[in-house]
Amino acid sequence: MLRKHYLKALDRRKPRKRPGLRAPHVWLDRAGTKVSTFDLFTGAFTVLVAPDGGDWAAWAWLG
């Protein structure tokens, strides 16, 4: 039963947004440079927010 749950969570065709799951790969523009979302994860806590996610970004910077 658990195996089926984990295999379903790993289905790359259906991106999930639950904590602990792999983040989807997306190319972002950072100051005119293409950056992969995978390059944002450095082993520290990372918060991904949309352009209108200013409140979340502010809380993330506060630590």
State the pLDDT at residue 13: 63
Structure tokens at 56: 């979340």
Interatomic CA distance for residues 35 and 32, integer angstroms = 9
pTM for this entry: 0.46
Number of domains in the chain: 1
State the pLDDT at residue 41: 83
Domain around 30: 2-62
Interatomic CA distance for residues 35 and 12, integer angstroms = 20
Q: What is the pLDDT of residues 7-62, one digit of tens each?
A: 565 565 666 667 777 777 889 888 999 999 888 888 777 777 777 777 877 777 77
